[in-house]
Amino acid sequence: MIPGPTPVPESVLHALGKHPIGHRSAEFQSIVRTTTEHLQWLHQTKNEVLAITGSGTAAMEAGIINTLSKGEKVLCGENGKFGERWVKVAKAYGLDVEVVKSEWGQPLDIEAIGNALETDKEKKIKAVIVTHSETSTGVINDLESITKHVKRHEKALTIADCVTSLGACDVPMDKWGIDVVASGSQKGYMMPPGLSFVAMSDKAWAANQDSDLPKFYLDLKQYRKASSKNSNPFTPAVNLYFALESSLQIMKKEGLPQIFARHSLHRDAVVAAMKAIGLNLFAADGHGSPAITAIAPQNLDAEDLRKSVKERFDILLAGGQDHLKGKVFRIGHLGYVCDRDMLTVIAAIEATLESMGKHPTTIGAGVSAATKLLNQAQ
């Protein structure tokens, strides 16, 4: 129950275990054609969705270096570990970085981003780089509102880390006008790690023509050219494509509205359960991600709780990162999870708290609260 790698369906594991085929073969090209079409459906875009053998960080780095040039100014939203990462990546490539920072657990300040863009009369800001679902804190940032501000600026691009949001909540790329969307296979895609995905708008591809940042393996022009022939410029992770084809078929069968509703319901069930137990949520009220919930227990080392839940019930919870280590634990509820998983992890947490003498309310209160919500949705 961590935010990645997430559980993998058995049919996807079977697909992953098939014997590899030649990545220049007609058979593999057919898989690329199918998966590309399904990826466009998932991203809700008419443009290409390019697959890179690498983690979500590779997709984000590709989005940055393929649309920007040396010394250009960018606005980076930072309210968690991954917001910090994009600041570091941008600085590593010599970009002029202005940071809009919010406290961990709080959403990005939309007004501050809007003001920065509005006062940029000389149009020096070339991109706004943000994390949609901040995995380290369980906060979902208002990507739609951020994108509206960027569109009013006209010159800047929106570059979005959607690694834990894509496949868990609605990210209509074309409708919102997002210019770059990056994601990774081990989250909502219900696959093992190893593939990442990047989609770019027409505006982003226009910026690509002038981009002079160094790139070779992550040169998206090569991927786009190969994609037009249902191929890849380098040797791809062939078996992960088998898994991708299988996972996207499962997602298509469920349907986007149903996928989004399921993730929101599981988020709400976990939130209701933690409140009923008497545990504090870390993310600001109303800003919790459909992908992951962070909990900040009082008078309890979160690492002790995680260790006990793992030892007693073989359930892995995510811990806090950096200064949050020992202060929060995180429950991932994205990808291949169901009501049973939600009730199981809540019950395990309650049983563990009771055994530690740290359950602040009546035992079973969390399971009861979650059950009521889940039953109402039937």
Token match 């501000």: residue? Answer: 149
Environment class of 71 (CB within 10 Å of its CB; exposed 0-12, middle 13-18, buried 19+) = exposed
Domain range annotation of the chain: 10-254, 256-376
Mean pLDDT over all residues of the chain? 97
Predicted confidence (pLDDT) per residue in 214-262, tens digit = 999 999 999 999 999 999 999 999 999 999 999 999 999 999 999 999 9
Q: Is the pLDDT of residue 378 over 90?
A: no
H/E/C letters for each residue in the chain?
Answer: CCCCCCCCCHHHHHHHCCCCCCCCCHHHHHHHHHHHHHHHHHHCCCCCEEEEECCHHHHHHHHHHCCCCCCCEEEEEECCHHHHHHHHHHHHCCCEEEEEECCCCCCCCHHHHHHHHHCCCCCCEEEEEEECEECCCCEECCHHHHHHHHHHHCCCEEEEECCCCECCECCCHHHHCCCEEEEECCCCCCCCCCEEEEEECHHHHHHHCCCCCCCCCCCHHHHHHHHCCCCCCCCCCHHHHHHHHHHHHHHHHHCHHHHHHHHHHHHHHHHHHHHHHCCEECCCCCCECCCEEEEECCCCCHHHHHHHHHHHHCCCCEECCHHHCCCCEEEECCCCCCHHHHHHHHHHHHHHHHHCCCCCCCCCHHHHHHHHHHHHCC
What is the per-residue pLDDT for 184? 98
Q: Is the pLDDT of residue 192 over 90?
A: yes
- Mean pLDDT value of segment 322-339: 96
- Mean pLDDT value of segment 60-68: 98
| Cα Rg of the chain, angstroms | 21
In the structure encoding, which two tokens stand for residue 243, read together? 């898994």
Amino acid sitting at position 220: L
- The span from the CA of 46 to the CA of 26, in Å, is 24
**Nearest alpha carbon to residue 277 among 216, 213, 220, 351:** 351
What is the per-residue pLDDT for 358? 92
pTM of the model: 0.96
With cut-offs at 50, 70 and 90, classify the pLDDT of residue 91: very high
- Mean pLDDT value of segment 98-113: 98
In the structure encoding, which two tokens stand for residue 190, read together? 């219900």
Angle, to 10 degrees, between the axis of helix 339-355 and the axis of helix 302-313? 110
**CATH class, range 256-376:** alpha beta
- The span from the CA of 198 to the CA of 217, in Å, is 14
- Mean pLDDT value of segment 137-166: 98
- Residue 67: HSE in the Cβ half-sphere, 13 Å Cα cutoff: 32
Q: Is the pLDDT of residue 377 over 90?
A: no
Phi, psi (rounded to 5 degrees) for 230: 55, 45
CATH 3.40.640.10 fits 10-254, yes or no: yes
